[in-house]
Amino acid sequence: MPNVNWTRRPALHTVGPGRGGQTPVITSGPGSPDRREQGESMRVLHVNKFLYRRGGAEGYLLDLADLQRAAGDTVAYFGMSHPENESPLPYAARFPSEVELEPAPSGVRPRAVAVGRMLWSPTSRRGLARVIDDFRPDVLHLHNIYHQLSPSVLAAARAAGVPCVLTMHDYKLACPSYQLLDRGRPCQACVTGGPLQAARRRCKDGSLSRSGLLAVESWLHRQFDAYDPVQLFVSPSGFLADVMRRAGVYPDRLRVVNHFVDLTGVAAKQTPGGGVVFAGRLAPEKGVDVLIEAAASLPDGVSVDIAGDGPARPELEALAARRVPGRVRFHGRLDKPRLHELIRSAAVVAVPSRWHENQPMAVLEAFACGVPVVATDLGGLPELVEPEVDGRVVAADAPTALGDALNDLLADPERAYRMGRAGRAKIAAQFAPDRHLDRIRGLYAEAAEALPSRRRAGRATAGGGAAR
């Protein structure tokens, strides 16, 4: 199947050239006379399926919400009911019920309900409509809404006339299985070949049924322009934006805005030396098994500390006990102060991902703590790590190359320490919170300005659109 063109409405204006002159990059809003430009506070409603620090996406939205509150904005949340959600959440009674999709529910009826929820969730739409009616947001800032909420929530926003900005934290809009992976290996077949490639290749765990379901979900959402109510799509990395552009995902609405790190209260590493730290979700695509294999080549006495949790933890613990007994410590999920303390104890942070990372907070937080990073050469990682300045870049799935790079920095603690300082200077210059908030404010203004013209255009072209 040829790639489906997502763009069916008249194009929005773009702001500046992006990477290769192809993807627009937002640096400030176009100047619409809204609350933000008058210096007034805004009412921002963040929408994400999980509302606890499950991963990088949730960490970003919660940190951004804190930043916005500190700037005087009023912030609320909408998501899925979940026992680990942050509390209190005033609108929790309006949330759709929890549904677990990994692993898939057992039984015909529970699975049918889950499939229906993925495709279109009336409960999510009704719940958000009621929250919008009560909270009266100036803007909806959406994050990961796929599956547990579904793009049905966008219909509620359109009906209420609320502008929408969606930050993309993965590749779902171009890749039905999120990660540009085909059974654990990098793949971009769906980017230019369309979502049905996922079914043909059985890229989701080698299963035709699971891959087919994800492929049909993405195909239907494209056919019905389910994401058309979004005025702007935010990409934290140039790589992700380029993938979306090549996939035809509303290329005129793409904007690249880095994440941010608040250095306030984050102490920098003060003395050279230490071991190796990994921080992140323990899942196969993170490549922690590669790090454990590489640990066998590290000098005696050098430990590897792993912070985080996830489905791969039992297998990783067994691998560590077998390959490097006593040298790998699993700490589980840590709060920020304890995580930063662990990072500062290290000479180097390893990011051994075997998938195309977007802009992982693990790199930014390592730099914030003044610790260099050894990362793989996939996705947005090479945009963050500058070889021999603030870290090293190595091939993915290569334990020997990873071990060599780690050993190189461990053997020269003073050089690693200087590289960590360079990383922290990069955060201060390029990832400052005020800078990020200004860019997000500009996006909100642009989305608000775009909304009336797009609603008129939608009425004028109802039933039309590009050939698909």
CATH topology of domain 275-430: Rossmann fold (3.40.50)
Alpha-helix residue ranges (DSSP H) falling in 168-252: 189-193, 197-201, 208-223, 238-246
Reading across the β-sheet that carries 139-142, which strands appear in turn? 74-78, 43-47, 139-142, 164-167, 232-235, 254-256
How is residue 269 annotated by DSSP?
A: P
Helices (H) then strands (E): counts for the chain: 16, 14
pLDDT of residue 103: 72
Hey, what CATH class is 19-100+107-173+227-260+433-455 in? alpha beta
Distance CA 215, CA 119 (A): 11
Within a 13 Å sphere around the CA of 332, how many CA atoms are in the beta-carbon half? 1
**Inter-residue contact 232 to 255 (CB < 8 Å):** yes
Contacts of 117 (CB under 8 A, 6+ apart): 96, 99, 123, 124, 147, 148, 150
Reported residue count of the chain is 468
Per-residue pLDDT for the chain (468 aa), expressed as one digit of tens each? Answer: 334 455 444 333 333 333 333 344 433 333 333 554 556 899 999 999 999 988 889 989 999 999 999 999 999 999 999 999 999 999 999 999 998 877 777 777 877 888 888 899 999 999 999 999 999 999 999 999 999 999 999 999 999 999 999 999 999 999 998 899 998 889 999 999 999 999 999 988 889 988 999 999 999 999 999 999 999 999 999 999 999 999 999 999 999 999 999 999 999 999 999 999 999 999 999 999 999 999 999 999 999 999 999 999 999 999 999 999 999 999 999 999 999 999 999 999 999 999 999 999 999 999 999 999 999 999 999 999 999 999 999 999 999 999 999 999 999 999 999 999 999 999 999 999 999 999 999 999 999 999 864 444 443 333 333 322
The DSSP H or E segment spanning 110 is helix 108-119
Instruction: Pinpoint the residues of the chain covered by CATH 3.40.50.2000.
Output: 19-100+107-173+227-260+433-455, 275-430
Q: Taking phi first (over 0 means left), then psi (-120 to 50 degrees means alpha), and beta for anything else, what does residue 41 get? A: beta
**Inter-residue contact 233 to 253 (CB < 8 Å):** yes
Name the amino acid, one letter, at 266.
V
pTM of the prediction?
Answer: 0.85
Burial class of residue 296 (count of CB atoms within 10 Å of its CB; 0-12, 13-18, 19+):
exposed
Burial class of residue 95 (count of CB atoms within 10 Å of its CB; 0-12, 13-18, 19+):
buried
Distance CA 126, CA 96 (A): 9
